[in-house]
Structures are given as structure tokens and as C-alpha cells.
DNA sequence: GAGTAAATGTATACCAGGTGCAGAAATCCT
DNA sequence: AGGATTTCTGCACCTGGTATACATTTACTC
């Protein structure tokens, strides 16, 4: 079908990859804030202007790799088998991610991934970018809920923000622990237990939070 | 006790206020992105360097006014009367905020406030700053829950992110509706109903989300 | 009240991220 | 091969933010 992307298209893809690779390499080696976009452009043998034609901001040089995951929860909810509740689908998907050490769960300890996570955790501008990411995930998930669970607008939005917030909190907790040394295999059991607890809380609500005595 | 703040202190406060006022005035008139910090400094009759001594970033010129609210939910939870569940305290506080048209609920339609909200909603960098704000609110609330509800670390964090996310979603929804014209009095009933629904969802959990049929 | 230490403010120059523009170079199409 | 179109580049420029080195003001002490 796409056997002929055309030279122009192929070259664009190669340039895109070259810039991204140069950026990641330099950032991992010297730190995100220590490397300027001019240096990245030079390393990728491209002008600064061209770099910004491919990546709108410096942060995107890092975050574009996660772009697919922005709609991941929405896709999971849409693809759930008949009879399955949205939350069940999300929970199972997350547990599977933990098993497979999917980086999105924070439970991948390959050195590259660990350094990448540490880099993001340490750079405020990258964390800010991740928040925008969360916002996109909320919107996509809300729409999926509306369309596949016959849920009113407000309920869908509220459920979406809760699910995304919890999902992110779990992943971030894992990533933080692994970023500074804890091995994934050692963390796995705890991560599963935490996820089970978190999704139970999400399902059953906060009404059991202890009152002031 | 503090009858003598000292000349230096008073002058600092006046400078702080002068810069903030100049900034808000210019931003509301011409838009956040259309006004440079240099212009703000000039209007406040202060050097650029001094401006940055008072406000670390351009965004802080706007957002510093909300700084107190960052720990508001935490304070509400701490101050709840004995026998009250944390969520109840937060809900009652929010409903009271709606009644009083507290800008933090998004339900204040004074022209100044409305334009301010619209400005924030429209400027991505300001929204990003608000997200950081949310993160701070989450941390503070989690700590309050841990300390006053004898809640384990993880539960406190998860409850906090859910509560803050829902609280923010409600406020933002109100602000968006008012920003472009809907009067607060007209929106009030709907806002109350939405809040009731949202807190019920938070209390009872998402387990009733419809499965795929 | 004069003099001095500490705190604040200023001017200037600078850096980095990001954009606008005019023209060169590569690609595509016939 | 050659013109139309897209992409890349170099350059100048703007803005947010910081470093340095110096001037000014306030507070404190005698």
C-alpha cells in the first residue's frame, strides 16, 4: 500500500529521526537544561530553523515519543470486550503493562529508560509538558467514555479526570522509585498491590476516608 | 505586634503591589502575550531586574494572587469539625464558595474576574502554571489527609489527586461558561447540581459506569 | 545627627528559545 | 530538461530570564 512514500517523504522521516536521536543522546549525556537547541541542531546537521519546523518546542524533542500514549486509555476503553466496565479494562491494561514492564507504567528499569525518566522528573519544563499530555489524555478518555458507555457529558469528564489522575500517580510513583536505583523486578509486587488498591479506591469511592475523631 | 513594619518593608510591599497592579492592568487591556515584562517594568517605574526580584516569572505576575488558595483544600480538611469526613468538608466548602461567588469556584462574573479567567484560559503558559498550582494543592491535601485522617501514604496521595482533579474540573467548567457571557446567577443552580453529582461520584466510586453492552 | 554595613535597585550586557523573512537548494512532475 | 513547489538555510530580531558590577537607600550604632 505504502511502498512508495516518495523520496521527499522518506527524507523527512530520516531528518525527523536524526534530530530526535541527536537530541535524546545529548540530553541523556549532559542533561536537558545543559544542552541548547542550537547544539542539537548542529549535532543533527540541520539548521536551528529546520529543527523548529520539525519540533515546535525544545520539550517536544523529548516528549514526542510519548505522543501515541496520549490516547492510549481512550483506545483501551473503546476496545474493551462487551460486558466489561471501563474501569476494569483500564485496570487490566495497567496490570498487563506492569507485567510487560511497559515504560508508561514507570516500571521499566532499562538504563536508558531510567535516565530518561529521571531527566523528565528533574526538569520542570518537561514535567509541565507532561501535564499538558495528561490534559489531552483526559479529553480523549472523556470522549471515549461518552461514546461507548452512554455516559452524560459531565460524568464522562469527571470519571476521565479521576482515572487519568490515578493512573498518572501510580506511574509516577513507580518511575520515581526506579529512577534512583530500585530494580523493576523487586518493585513489581508492590506496584501490583498499589495498583489494585488504587483501582479499588476508584471503584468504591472515597466515602470510607476516616472522619475526624 | 506588627505596628512597625519598618520603612523598608512598607516600601517593598508598595513596590510589589505597584508591579502587580501595572501587570494586571496591562494584561487585561492588551492580553498576556501582547505585553512584555519590559513594558510592565516601565509602567511600574521599576527596572526589569527588580521586577524579576519580586516575581520569578512572567506568569507569577498573574498567578501570585492565587497563591493562598494552593493550600485551601488542605486547610479545609484540617479544620473540619470532629466526626466529619474529609470529603464532606470539601464539598460543603465548595458549595459555600458557589453561594458566595468565590472566584476560585469559577462562579464569579464580575467583569474583572471574567476577563482574568478568560485570559488564563487562553494563555497556554498560564494554564501550565495553573497545573503546577494543582500539583502543589495535591501535595498539601495529601499531607493534610495523612495527618488528620490517619490514612496510609498511598491512599492519601490517591484521594488527594482525585479530589483536586474533580474540584478543578468543576471550577474550570464554571469559569469557561462565565468567561463568555453566562451570568453567575443563572449558572448557580446548575453549578450546585454539578457539584453534588461530582462529589457523589467521588464518594461512591466509578463502579457504576456502564459496561459495554 | 554622622557614618557605616546591609539590603535594594539599576544599567548593561548577555544567553537561550523561538519567529519572520528572503533566497538558495532539493524534489517533484511533465 | 525545466519550471513549479516544497523544504532548508542564514540572518536578523524579539522576549524571558540571568550575571555582574555599581549606585542608592535604609537601618543601625555611636
pLDDT digits (tens, 9 = 90+) for A64-79: 999 999 999 999 999 9
Mean pLDDT, all residues of chain A: 95
**With a CB-CB cutoff of 8 Å, which residues 100-129 of chain B face chain A?**
124, 128
Per-residue pLDDT, averaged over A95-105, amounts to 98
Query: Across the interface, which of B86, B165, B201 has its CB nearest the CB of A155?
Result: B201
Per-residue pLDDT, averaged over A23-37, amounts to 98
* pLDDT at residue B212, as a whole number: 83
Protein residue closest to D9, using CA and C1': A47
* pLDDT at residue A2, as a whole number: 45
CB B121 within 8 A of CB A163: no
Per-residue pLDDT, averaged over A17-36, amounts to 98
User: Does residue B93 sit at the A interface (CB-CB below 8 Å)?
Assistant: no
Per-residue pLDDT of chain B (213 residues; tens, 9 = 90+): 444 567 678 889 999 999 999 999 999 999 999 999 999 999 999 999 999 999 999 999 999 999 999 999 999 999 999 999 999 999 999 999 999 999 999 999 999 999 999 999 999 999 999 999 999 999 999 999 999 999 999 999 999 999 999 999 999 999 999 998 999 999 999 999 999 999 999 999 999 998 987
Residue of A78, A144, A157, A158 to mutate when probing chain B, most B C-beta within 10 A: A158
Sign of the dihedral through C-alpha B21, B25, B30, B32: positive
Q: What is the pLDDT of residues B166-213, one digit of tens each?
A: 999 999 999 999 998 999 999 999 999 999 999 999 999 999 998 987
- Res. A180: pLDDT tops 90: no
Strand C–CB B53 distance below 7 A:
yes
A-chain residues near B168 (CB < 8 A): 161
Per-residue pLDDT, averaged over A140-156, amounts to 96
Strand C–CB B11 distance below 7 A:
yes
Domains delineated in chain A? 7-58 (1.10.10.60), 63-204 (1.10.357)
Distance CA B33, CA B194 (A): 33
CB A73 within 8 A of CB A140: yes
Cα torsion at A124, A127, A128, A134 (round to 10°)?
A: -170
Residue with cell 459496561: B211
Strand C–CB B50 distance below 7 A:
yes
Query: Across the interface, which of A82, A148, A158 has its CB nearest the CB of B169?
Result: A158
* pLDDT at residue B213, as a whole number: 75
CB B107 within 8 A of CB B178: yes
* pLDDT at residue B4, as a whole number: 56
Amino acid at each position: 500500500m505504502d511502498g512508495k512514500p516518495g523520496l521527499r517523504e522518506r527524507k523527512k522521516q530520516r531528518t525527523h529521526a536524526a534530530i530526535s536521536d541527536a537530541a535524546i543522546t545529548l540530553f541523556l549525556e549532559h542533561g536537558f537544561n545543559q544542552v541548547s537547541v542550537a547544539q542539537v541542531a548542529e549535532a543533527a546537521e540541520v539548521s536551528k530553523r529546520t529543527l523548529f519546523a520539525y519540533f515546535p518546542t525544545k520539550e517536544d524533542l523529548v516528549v514526542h515519543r510519548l505522543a501515541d500514549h496520549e490516547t492510549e486509555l481512550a483506545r483501551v476503553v473503546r476496545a474493551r470486550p462487551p460486558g466489561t466496565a471501563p474501569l476494569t479494562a483500564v485496570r487490566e491494561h495497567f496490570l498487563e503493562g506492569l507485567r510487560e514492564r511497559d515504560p508508561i507504567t514507570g516500571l521499566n528499569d532499562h538504563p536508558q529508560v531510567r535516565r530518561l525518566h529521571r531527566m523528565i522528573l528533574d526538569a520542570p519544563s518537561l514535567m509541565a509538558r507532561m501535564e499538558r499530555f495528561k490534559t489531552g489524555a483526559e479529553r480523549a478518555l472523556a470522549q471515549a467514555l461518552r461514546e461507548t458507555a452512554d455516559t452524560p457529558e459531565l460524568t464522562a469528564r469527571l470519571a476521565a479526570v479521576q482515572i487519568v489522575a490515578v493512573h498518572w500517580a501510580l506511574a509516577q510513583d513507580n518511575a520515581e522509585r526506579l529512577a534512583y536505583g530500585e530494580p523493576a523486578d523487586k518493585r513489581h509486587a508492590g506496584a501490583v498491590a498499589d495498583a489494585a488498591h488504587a483501582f479499588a479506591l476508584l471503584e468504591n469511592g472515597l466515602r470510607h476516608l476516616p472522619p475526624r475523631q
